Structure 1
């Protein structure tokens, strides 16, 4: 049956541009932790609220410490989620633990919330022998089958159509689970985004498209990316549910995602959630944001820090105080440093594992390339201090 409305007929040209459409932003609490007038506070038990906050704090501390490690030359690359923790932790808290997450590269908060240990983070970042990816990925490309978190890939937007396909499998299986795919507003400019939304809407699959609209696609501001009112209106062109939420308001993100999940799982209706936030940090350790935005702009957004807002709310509930805050920060900083020092000196993965897990039997060409690599490393051992020392033991 066609979903196109052909009932209304006109006899003069009428062009529609959509200027009259303005999608509101859902907010629950102000920066001081007090609720907006008329706002309904989501049902959130104390234990879960504190788990969420501790995950946000751990994410912030981990990001600060690991960027410092990168600046010291101990890591090749790092990406922070500073300023976006309410979105990256809040959405995960609204899901069931076995819902699938297909992230972009700034969602470490979701992994923290689900229980990815500091050891697991460090093993991946340092590409040591305990890294699940066997050192084949650059830092921050995490993945965990146990935690239903698909391994991150570098190319932009590849995870979006994959999420639609995975959710279609969930629908066929009837397991009452959904898939959430997370991406930035820059990734929404890729063709994969539109293909994924169209396929999800046609097939009616339990997928939630979560866009972190943090203002910049690396150095390109949103104003230079699209002329429309953000990303949320795009869903309407596919007859899909959409909501815009304050991405720095943990309670708003949590409730929006809870209701989005219900639509996805109970009705097999795809949903687009646009979380409005701001990337306080650089795009990555390779980026210098001072070249494209002002310190004044950053300062305005630092006043909207999501950790402070949620902490203020917790304090108003009498669930948190300054003494607990200091104890938590001291403990997290100590644990991150201790775990990093333990993971950094571990051996790297075996070089022969570089060509496994793709073919049942590696083809001759790959075997020859591996041998050529070993010759190269033996020729320049000073450039590969960890690897060269293990060549004769592979």
Structure 2
């Protein structure tokens, strides 16, 4: 099987070179005349998509050089950047592990952030990684309000629900919080994780509390790519399972389309923020480049299925839309794509030169000391 990353890039290069002539659009106006997304914001989000794809590719290059240690990609899920754009940085986030787009886009909203470098420090297990100190590859940031999570089996759901309930509880007890009164919690996961008992118990707790008129301002986001590593999710399972939950307001969007995702996410967020009630945002996405860099997809997927997924690459689809809408030319977007690659490469070289943890003592240093006398006492 050929290098699928090369295939995705060649598809983009072909698009960049296509002779598509469209009149230039006014970037200050809404996309299509009725979207909440302007041309300027669309191009900002498209740049985020490019950056995240290059971070995924660089993660694999680092692994090949024995300088990086994590290759689960955000490829195919990059449009979660539009969810971040619709939220505020003061809305605490508990994120899925394919949330590169969300992380990079939220960093645009907070001055002084270095999301590319921070992600690369994490990929290289550098002790300078600001969120885990080289102990775990995770999306997390104190200034961005993103709580570091290992989200594989929805272990973050109970924490997210508890946090949502605590917002109103703290207000009633006059406990100051670093969030505005109308903040909401966002909690994202893949389709397979939503089958796990942890997710089911936590969402049930949220709905149970909300049913009793307790404020639970949480937006669950399902990034549905139809695969749980090598196991296929039954068609329409997520929609049928979650759209009919009493007390859970359900929204669905094409998670490959920046405009559709931004507009639908805006509606879901407005509902959750005003009603202070559990909300579910279902995004139909696609998984590209396998589950991780070590994944051999042909062991469980037909090459035709893989190529069909590649035909829905959100970078290709949104680049084509930008060109056809007259937001930019193919040549301009080609330059933006390469400039994004260069930014990632420069940051990667810098991150790889930073020190790593060198002993078990350094790794466990943040843990509370073991004190048998205190335990017995």
> Separation in 1 of the partners of 2:314 and 2:277?
29
Q: CA deviation at 1:55?
A: 0.4
Going from structure 1 to structure 2, the CA distance change for 1:164 and 1:336 (only over 3 Å counts) comes to same
User: Match for 1:103 among 95, 101, 108?
Assistant: 95
CA offsets 1:5-53 (integer angstroms, 9 cap, x no match): xxxxxxxxxxxxxxxxxxxxxxxxxxx99xxxxx984221233222111
Query: Equivalent residue for 1:385?
Result: none
CA offsets 1:66-93 (integer angstroms, 9 cap, x no match): 122213332222111212212x212111
Tell which structure's C-alpha radius of gyration is larger. 1
Contact 2:319 2:333 in 1 (8 A): no
Query: Equivalent residue for 1:121?
Result: 119
CA offsets 1:196-224 (integer angstroms, 9 cap, x no match): 2222223231111111110110000113x
TM-score, length-scaled by structure 1: 0.76
Q: CA RMSD in A?
A: 2.3
Query: Equivalent residue for 1:203?
Result: 209
User: Match for 2:45 among 46, 52, 77?
Assistant: 52
Please say which of residues 105-114 and 127-136 is displaced more in the overlay: 127-136
> Separation in 1 of the partners of 2:367 and 2:239?
37
Count of aligned pairs between the two proteins? 321
TM-score, length-scaled by structure 2: 0.79
For 1:69-218, list aligned pairs within 5 A.
69-86=62-79, 88-115=80-107, 116-132=114-130, 133-137=132-136, 139=137, 141-153=138-150, 155-172=152-169, 173=171, 175-204=181-210, 205-218=216-229
Q: CA deviation at 1:235?
A: 4.7
CA offsets 1:248-270 (integer angstroms, 9 cap, x no match): 12211111111111111111121
User: Match for 1:282 among 271, 290, 303?
Assistant: 290
Query: Equivalent residue for 1:23?
Result: none
Secondary structure at the residue paired with 1:236?
A: coil
For 1:1-394, list aligned pairs within 5 A.
41-86=34-79, 88-115=80-107, 116-132=114-130, 133-137=132-136, 139=137, 141-153=138-150, 155-172=152-169, 173=171, 175-204=181-210, 205-223=216-234, 229-231=237-239, 233-349=241-357, 351=359, 352-359=361-368, 362-363=369-370
